[in-house]
Amino acid sequence: MDASTRTKSRSKKPQYSRFTQQELPAWKPILTPKWIITSFVIIAILFTPTGLLCLWASERVVEIIDRYDDDCLPDSYSTDPDSFIQSNNTNKTCVRTLKVPRKMSAPIFIYYQLDNFYQNHRRYVKSRSDKQLRDPDEADETEDCKPINGNDDGPIVPCGLVAWSLFNDTYKFFKGNKAIDIDKKDIAWESDKKYKFGSNVYPKNFQKWELIGGGALDESKPLSEQEDLIVWMKTAALPTFRKLYGKINTDLEANETITVVIQNNYNTYVFGGEKKVALSTANWIGGKNDFFGISFLTIGGVCFFVAINFILLYVLKPRPLGDPSYLSWNRNQGAQ
Amino acid sequence: MTSNRPDFNFKSSSSTSSRNSDNINTQIRNVDLQPSSSQLSIQSNSWRHSSNLGSRGVRHGSRSGVDSEGFSMSRKEIEIDDDDARLVYVNNPVKTNESFEFSGNSIRTGKYSVITFLPRNLFEQFHRVAYLYFLIIAILNQLPQLAVFGRGASIFPLASVLFVTAVKDGYEDWRRHKSDKIENNRMSYVLVNDRFRQKKCKDIQVGEVVKVSADETIPCDIVLLSTSDPTGVAYIQTINLDGESNLKTRYAKQETLSRVPEKDIISGLIKCEKPNRNIYGFQGNMEIDGKRVSLGPSNIILRGCVIKNTDWAVGVVVYAGRETKAMLNNSGAPSKRSRLETHMNQEIMLLSFFLVTLCVVVSACAGVWLKRHQDELDIMPFYRRKDYSEGQVENYNYYGLGMEIFFTFLMSVIVFQIMIPISLYISMELVRVGQAYFMIRDDKMYDATSNTRFQCRALNINEDLGQIKYVFSDKTGTLTENKMEFQFASISGVDYSGEKTEFYGEEGGYSIQVDGQIWKPKMKVQVDPNLLKLSKSRNDTKSSKDIYDFFLALAACNTIVPIVANTSNPNEKLIDYQGESPDEQALVYAAAAYGFMLIERTSGHIVIDIQGERQRFNVLGMHEFDSDRKRMSVILGYPDSTVKVFVKGADTTMFKVIDESLNLDVVRATETHLHSYSSIGLRTLVVGARALSVSEFDTWQTSYEIASTALMGRAGLLRKVAINLENNLSLLGASAIEDRLQKGVPEAIESLRKANIKVWVLTGDKQETAISIGYSSKLLTSKMTQIVINNNSKMTCQRSLEDALIISRKLINVTHASEDDASSVALIIDGTSLVYILDSDLEEQLFELASKCAVVLCCRVAPLQKAGIVALIKNRTDDMTLAIGDGANDVSMIQMADVGVGISGQEGRQAVMASDFAMGQFRFLVPLLLVHGHWNYQRMAYMILYNFYRNALFVLVLFWYVLYTGFTLTTAITEWSSVLYSIIYTAIPTIVIGILDKDLSRKLLMTYPQLYGSGQRKESYNVKLFWVTMADTLWQSVIAFFIPVLAYWKSDIDSSSLGDLWTLAVVFMVNIHLAMDVIRWTWISHASIWGSIIATCICVVIIDAIPVLPGYWAIFYLASSGLFWVCLAGILIASMIPRFIVKMFMQHCKPCDIQIAREAEKFRNSMEITRSGEIEMNR
């Protein structure tokens, strides 16, 4: 603080600006009854048709779901499913017949659905090595994969619980005696194939030692071409999930009977999970899902109801906007 | 010295103790920096921990009415024994520093060096609870079993905050280092080998003798030895130290002032206090030539002061470098915590409880889950407890059920950590800085007369300004200008209060000729032509003599120093009367206007120009003002060697020592005049005189010498001497000084009253003056019933309190019945009664009475009583108190109140230095409270609730997901998004809105002060609102979580995609929620809210474009599906609907005042607003 700064000649009066005086031009919206009712009505008008649209879209999706884990277990093993599924000598082939309820036009997506499988379990999610999957030079990056990381003979590629538990049931579809082609190309994300799974990384030591967790991999194919693995390794968000198995590129007519030959290899019995196979057409809403239709209709309905109530309220108990007699100090005086 | 205001800057008699008895020409000094540390330790214990700076007020605290000052002062003197003292050998730095190494004069305000920067800065930063919480969470996360987030993500938030703070601290420190360097390398003259040589400032040592020239800054604390003035006076300006710009005088001791250090070697021993931070006190003594002389605060010049009007000054260094008082005072004001923050902390405790509940739920569920799947865990594909890779099959990463539950608990604490909105504390600080910026920059709170802006000294109680219910105001200098103007005089029973419309003479004011130059007083005073004529007539009548004596007393009986200042006209000089007390200045200017112009004052004599004739009077002795006597006296030796004592003081004490038998009529007449003066709000003083016979003078002189050399109880002895002298006076007359009301005070008080703020005035003035000021400031109205409590004992106090309570109850009942609230009660109580009431069982009754009264006026109160009255309210109610004052006597009350406001006025800066906010005028209180206080409260209250909501929403969304992951604390939202959530995604809008949003315009808030009530009623932040907010949060989190879950159940969605959906949904919701509550949309609000939504999208895209992260490219696949957009729209609408409905319903059916005022502002034209405002006024 220099004495000179205090002299009268230099005034400390704050310079005027609209900013410092907090007088910037501003939009001051006030929600008047008109606005409130309009906004509720608009929401109602937007949401009700959208809800109907969703319901209609969901209705158009044809979906066939078949749970087979229990039925594909021979009766003799029903008390001990583990020994059935772990044995190499049991016949795991299982035949299911499905009826097409409505015409399904191509592409028809084949999913396997697992219930009660926590692919989002913390132990599970962490147990992978994305570095190893991308780059052959980083095959030793298996710290996160323990205990399925390899031994003295070298690292496991791909390591970790996620890859180890690769789903390995297989499906074959027959229309009568004629096999239906299943297109297993491009079931994984393009970005994953290009950047996450290396085209020069080959499976090594996979499912070789100790406990077998699931499917094996063709060691001659690079990871980027192992699309089943890529799909499997995109861990599901919720404990009930579907994963794409393949596509059928021919239409299925209504009331046709389809035979599915399933190799029931995958062990869901150990944790009480369920296995289902699902055939579904798709449109913009994805698979069959009535939830949106219902919830949007609900929102629309509620808004419409509220709008009517507000109209009634304003008619029956109007309050002039900005009437000073409603101010608390005026009210109190009136009350006395 | 003025005495009708006991709490004013009076002088302590103890300060005369250093006077040398041999010297009949006793020095007159303007002791403005008072010693005070001694009282502080005793008296401030019961109060808030107060800084020494403010202690000047505290020291007056003689509650019992017995002035303990003198005793403690003398006690203090004795206490300086060798252990406590610092020994300084004058001009012998080697010997001085021999036994103790005193600190050198180099200063270091920089906190850090290059090496210590990192550890020290980190250490200091971690003093804050917020950072410590961050740190503990981050450390927990580093344990491998608990590693919820990656290393980078867990440390990033803490590291970024630490880094920014460290850079800021580092930069500030670098600047301090730079200024230290300049400071340390300044040159000054130091006596080396009997010659003054230039030496770098940092090399000065304690014990050395330094020489400072005019306009130079003092390099260290020095005890004056001699100055260019033959009487040893040096004038200094302490603006750098305490901001006071008037000149102060410092004195060299008689024993040293004549010596020239180069020739006449001074050697002596100074014994003084250890370094302390009290800039108004200094105790010590100097042994020189075998004599011991005492040193007081008037003998020391502190580092940072500037020498003015003195060619040079020589002094010996006693404190140097960091031990100087200026350096020891380099610390801020004590910090307070705002009411809102205190309430907020209670709710944060609730939130911690929620957090613990969530964690317990998760860990309990996890335990149950593990127990149920106990048998399956070993080979379960997503658990795989057994590790078969080694020969021996062992559990992998499993520590038994108990430990797993415990780990789950800790992990959930880490995941849900932001439930406790630690970032809120940091945001609040930023918001307060922003709010302070706008308060400082408000041009409606700029005072042009003193050229001061509003000052925010405390940065953490801005929002308290919006909840004030009681204002305690000082009167003089706060309600009034403290610019005294001489108005009337009553001289020997004749009242001179006629018309005074003209200035004297054509040239405008009285002037004298000195060496062909015209000297004029700087200030012009209106004069009574009648009195002027009489004062000029030189006949020998009794009345003419009385007038002569009266004005002589006014001109002489004071401590004013005339300073002759140049003007633009070389033939014209102005006499500026410098002094501490504005009352004395006014009296001296008045005397000058009537032809008694004080033109010179030295320690031994004064020169007064009486009607153009220069006369020299010897000042033989002076008894300075003290709060007990409430008067001062000066003993003048006339040129014809007659001796007379002049006494001036408060009427109460003066009439006791006036010999009424001399002229009873005059005394009665004067009393009547005094009463009429004070009833129109004037400050009055009574002047008396007595001729001393030779024997009387000799007796006085002997006893005075004994008293002033006494080693023990010097102050008390001196007071006794004074009391013996001041008796049997003949009454000369009385003066009346007007202290004008500040501009806008009545209007301000009216506004405050309308805002339902109770204004109490606490003043040292007497009752009549206080009441008349009360009327003129519209505090009191004629409709009010006044209850006056004016008692001298506890018994009578009790009785009158009981009576008053009965009366007030009756009146209030009547008021209720008659629907007319104008006839309210005003309580007027005086300091004497308060002595018996405060701190006794009567306090409760006083509180009850006072809370029934619309106005409370306390007169004749001591500074500590002021604090006591504030405490009376503060301790018994939950209401917020604000104290406003300008003087040292207000310091204790300012520190006691929840909010202290200082007026930077005439009485120095101590009130400002103790205050939380400082401003130039009382009327600025209205915009400060009604406008800024209201805004700050609304903003901060909303911001706190919003932050609770914002963080809880995110935590709840995480929590719901955890329930679907086998209770294992997986987060679908990527760790980077969780980290950035409170840093980038949602941080800026809440801060911007917290600084900028305005619920109502300034104009409206000023027109309807009643709108302030919303803060007093805690409408914007209360427990109910908290629970409503939390319920809303719960609903919103349910919508945000379950709509996507139900939509994507049984689908092939992966966790990253769903996580991205949740991230975007939550951020959109949070920002739209805020947008719904923004009242004024400026471009900045638009930019911050929509900007953070865009920034979030960009961040999510960037995170999903990193191949090593699991969610690579997820957002692009997600955004290309229609379901995602439908989902987002559904979430946003469904989550906001209940809130919207409730808000609209409340708005319509139970509109708050703010709502109506907003509507009125927008839809009713201004005419209507003003008209209804007028109706309001007329009511």
Task: Judge whether B648 is annotated as a binding position.
Answer: yes
Task: Judge whether B83 is annotated as a binding position.
Answer: no
* Cβ separation B968–A121 shorter than 8 A: yes
- Tell me the pLDDT of chain B averaged across its residues: 81
Question: Which residue type, as a one-letter code, is found at position B626?
Answer: D
Question: Which one, of B230, B202, B198, lies nearest residue B211 by Cα?
Answer: B198
Looking at residue B1072, its pLDDT comes to 95
CATH code at position B461: 3.40.50.1000
Which range in B842-851, B1045-1054, B1069-1078 is most confidently predicted, on average pLDDT? B1069-1078
* Cβ separation B382–A165 shorter than 8 A: yes
- Rounded distance between C-alpha atoms, residue B258 and residue B228, angstroms: 10
Specify if B720 maps to a domain: yes
- Rounded distance between C-alpha atoms, residue A5 and residue A9, angstroms: 9
Residue B1005, sorted as left (phi over 0), alpha (psi -120 to 50) or beta, turns out to be alpha
Question: Which residue type, as a one-letter code, is found at position B63?
Answer: R
Looking at residue B37, its pLDDT comes to 32
- Rounded distance between C-alpha atoms, residue B1089 and residue B1094, angstroms: 9
Specify if B36 maps to a domain: no
CB atoms within 10 A of CB B245: 12
Specify if B327 maps to a domain: no
CA-angle at B684, arms to B683 and B688, nearest 5°: 155
Q: Which helix (H) or strand (E) holds B258?
A: none
- Rounded distance between C-alpha atoms, residue B456 and residue B439, angstroms: 8
The percent of residues above 90 in pLDDT, for chain B, comes to 27
- pLDDT per residue over B398-430, tens digit each? 888 999 999 999 999 999 998 988 788 888 988
B563 with B695, same domain?
Answer: yes
- Rounded distance between C-alpha atoms, residue A65 and residue B1049, angstroms: 15
Task: Judge whether B576 is annotated as a binding position.
Answer: no
Angstrom distances, CA of residue B643 to CA of A273, B617, B1116: 116, 10, 103
Task: Identify the weakest region by mean pLDDT among B7-16, B453-462, B595-604, B1066-1075.
Answer: B7-16
Specify if B212 maps to a domain: no
Give contacts of B 1141-1160 with A, CB under 8 A: 1141, 1144-1145, 1147-1149, 1151-1153, 1156-1160
Measured in degrees and rounded to the nearest 5, phi and psi for residue B437 equal: -55, -45
Structure tokens that stand for B578 in this block = 């410098």
Q: Choose between B1157 and B263: higher pLDDT.
A: B1157
Across B250-262, average pLDDT: 75
DSSP output for B671-724:
HHHHHHHHHTTEEEEEEEEEEEPHHHHHHHHHHHHHHHH-SSSHHHHHHHHHHH
Looking at residue B1109, its pLDDT comes to 84
B1035 with B950, same domain?
Answer: yes
Specify if B938 maps to a domain: yes
Whether the Cβ atoms of residue B950 and residue B933 lie closer than 8 Å to each other: no
Q: Choose between B664 and A48: higher pLDDT.
A: A48
Residue with tokens 């190799």: A263
- Rounded distance between C-alpha atoms, residue B265 and residue B710, angstroms: 29
B698 with B789, same domain?
Answer: no
Residue of B968, B1151, B1159 lying closest to A123 (CB–CB): B968
Looking at residue B19, its pLDDT comes to 34
* Cβ separation B972–A123 shorter than 8 A: no
| Cβ neighbours for A137, distance < 8 A, ≥ 6 positions apart | none
Exposure letters A130-163 (e unless 16+ CB within 10 A, then b): bbbbbeeebbebbebbbbbbbeeeebbbbbbbbb
- pLDDT per residue over B165-213, tens digit each? 888 888 888 888 888 888 888 888 888 877 888 888 888 888 888 988 8
Looking at residue B645, its pLDDT comes to 92
pLDDT at position B1177 over 80? no
Specify if B822 maps to a domain: yes
* Residue B39 banded pLDDT, cuts 50, 70, 90: very low
Considering B377, B395, B420, which residue would you say is the last residue of a domain?
B420
Whether the Cβ atoms of residue A116 and residue A275 lie closer than 8 Å to each other: no
pLDDT at position A191 over 60? yes
pLDDT at position B243 over 80? no
ipTM of the prediction: 0.95
Specify if B1135 maps to a domain: yes
B937 with B899, same domain?
Answer: no
Q: Which helix (H) or strand (E) holds B571?
A: none
pLDDT at position B2 over 60? no
Indicate the angle between helix axes B339-372 and B934-962, nearest 10 degrees: 0
Task: Judge whether B726 is annotated as a binding position.
Answer: no
Task: Identify the weakest region by mean pLDDT among A60-69, A99-108, A151-160.
Answer: A151-160
pLDDT at position B995 over 90? yes
* Residue B680 banded pLDDT, cuts 50, 70, 90: confident
Question: Which one, of B1167, B993, B1146, lies nearest residue B1082 by Cα?
Answer: B993
Looking at residue B82, its pLDDT comes to 60
Looking at residue A244, its pLDDT comes to 94
CATH code at position B680: 3.40.1110
Specify if B891 maps to a domain: yes
Give contacts of B 980-1009 with A, CB under 8 A: 996, 998, 1002, 1008
B413 with B520, same domain?
Answer: no
pLDDT at position B488 over 80? yes
- Rounded distance between C-alpha atoms, residue B14 and residue B722, angstroms: 12
- pLDDT per residue over B681-690, tens digit each? 788 889 999 9
Three-state DSSP state, A246: strand
Residue of A54, A242, A302 lying closest to B1137 (CB–CB): A302
Looking at residue B908, its pLDDT comes to 65
The percent of residues above 70 in pLDDT, for chain B, comes to 86
* Residue B80 banded pLDDT, cuts 50, 70, 90: low
Give contacts of B 932-971 with A, CB under 8 A: 964-966, 968-970
HSE-CB at B906 with a 13 A cutoff on CA atoms is 21
- Rounded distance between C-alpha atoms, residue B343 and residue B1025, angstroms: 12
Nearest C-alpha in A relative to B1115: A191
CA-angle at B1142, arms to B1140 and B1145, nearest 5°: 105
Q: How many residues does chain B have?
A: 1179
Three-state DSSP state, B631: strand
Whether cis (ω within 30° of 0) applies to the bond prior to A158 is yes
pLDDT at position B75 over 50? no
Q: How many residues does chain A have?
A: 336
Distance of CA A273 to the CA centre of its chain: 19
CB contacts, 8 Å: B1049 with chain A: 238, 240, 291
Whether the CB of A335 is below 8 Å from some CB of chain B: the reply is no
Residue with tokens 């010049």: B301
* Residue B12 banded pLDDT, cuts 50, 70, 90: very low
* Inter-chain CB pairs, A–B, below 8 Å: 284
Question: Residue A262 forms beta bridges with which residues?
Answer: A94, A171
Task: Identify the weakest region by mean pLDDT among B118-132, B229-243, B839-853.
Answer: B229-243
Structure tokens that stand for B854 in this block = 């619309």
CB atoms within 10 A of CB B675: 12
B968 with B991, same domain?
Answer: yes
Looking at residue B1139, its pLDDT comes to 93
Query: What's the distance, Cα to Cα, between the start and end of chain B in Å?
Result: 47
| Cβ neighbours for B411, distance < 8 A, ≥ 6 positions apart | B146, B148, B969
Angstrom distances, CA of residue B1088 to CA of A24, A282, B418, B941: 15, 40, 22, 20
- pLDDT per residue over A132-147, tens digit each? 998 889 888 888 888 8
Looking at residue B1174, its pLDDT comes to 41
- pLDDT per residue over B849-907, tens digit each? 888 888 899 988 887 888 889 999 998 998 999 999 887 778 888 888 999 999 886 66
Measured in degrees and rounded to the nearest 5, phi and psi for residue A56 equal: -65, -45
* Cβ separation B1052–A244 shorter than 8 A: yes
- Rounded distance between C-alpha atoms, residue B490 and residue B544, angstroms: 13
Question: Which one, of B615, B634, B616, B639, lies nearest residue B624 by Cα?
Answer: B634
B452 to chain A, closest Cα gap in Å = 6
Across B237-241, average pLDDT: 71
- Rounded distance between C-alpha atoms, residue B239 and residue B909, angstroms: 10
Active site residue B180: no
pLDDT at position B1115 over 90? yes
Looking at residue B900, its pLDDT comes to 92
- pLDDT per residue over B265-312, tens digit each? 777 888 888 887 677 778 788 887 777 777 877 788 988 888 877 788
* Residue B512 banded pLDDT, cuts 50, 70, 90: confident
Angstrom distances, CA of residue B534 to CA of B510, B614, B1099: 15, 19, 89
* Cβ separation A242–B1163 shorter than 8 A: no
Looking at residue A266, its pLDDT comes to 92
B596 with B700, same domain?
Answer: yes
Whether the Cβ atoms of residue B934 and residue B1012 lie closer than 8 Å to each other: yes
Task: Identify the weakest region by mean pLDDT among A144-148, B642-646, B708-712, B855-859.
Answer: B708-712
* Cβ separation A3–B237 shorter than 8 A: yes
HSE-CB at A102 with a 13 A cutoff on CA atoms is 8
Looking at residue B334, its pLDDT comes to 52
Whether the Cβ atoms of residue B34 and residue B735 lie closer than 8 Å to each other: no
Specify the pairing of strand A150-151 against strand A154-155. Answer: antiparallel
B831 with B766, same domain?
Answer: yes
Three-state DSSP state, B740: strand
- Tell me the pLDDT of chain A averaged across its residues: 88
Considering B684, B716, B739, which residue would you say is the last residue of a domain?
B739
Give contacts of A 85-114 with B, CB under 8 A: 111, 113
CB contacts, 8 Å: B144 with chain A: none
Angstrom distances, CA of residue B1086 to CA of B439, B988, B992, B1071, B1158: 23, 12, 10, 11, 20
- Rounded distance between C-alpha atoms, residue B3 and residue B587, angstroms: 12
- pLDDT per residue over A243-274, tens digit each? 999 999 999 999 999 999 999 999 898 888 89
DSSP character at residue B459: S
CB contacts, 8 Å: A302 with chain B: 1137
Q: Which of B442, B474, B549, B999 is catalytic?
A: B474
* Cβ separation A236–B1055 shorter than 8 A: yes
Looking at residue B423, its pLDDT comes to 83
Could you give the number of structural domains in chain B? 4
CA dihedral B540, B541, B545, B551 (to 10 degrees): -110
Whether the Cβ atoms of residue B1072 and residue B1096 lie closer than 8 Å to each other: no
E strand residue ranges, B50-201? 85-89, 187-192, 195-200
B464 with B599, same domain?
Answer: no
Whether the CB of A295 is below 8 Å from some CB of chain B: the reply is yes
- Rounded distance between C-alpha atoms, residue B385 and residue B277, angstroms: 67
- Rounded distance between C-alpha atoms, residue B1033 and residue B1136, angstroms: 10
Alpha helix ranges (H) inside B890-1012: 891-896, 910-914, 925-926, 934-962, 975-980, 987-996, 1002-1007
Considering B686, B709, B739, which residue would you say is the last residue of a domain?
B739
Looking at residue A5, its pLDDT comes to 40
Question: Which residue type, as a one-letter code, is found at position B729?
Answer: L
Three-state DSSP state, B197: strand
Give the domain extent around B373: 338-420
Three-state DSSP state, B201: helix
DSSP output for B1015-1051:
HHTT-SS-HHHHHHHHHHHHHHHHHHHHHHHHHHTTS
Whether the CB of B1088 is below 8 Å from some CB of chain A: the reply is no
B1088 with B1061, same domain?
Answer: yes
Three-state DSSP state, B458: coil
Structure tokens that stand for B1169 in this block = 């607003």
B565 with B427, same domain?
Answer: no
B989 with B1089, same domain?
Answer: yes
Looking at residue B244, its pLDDT comes to 59
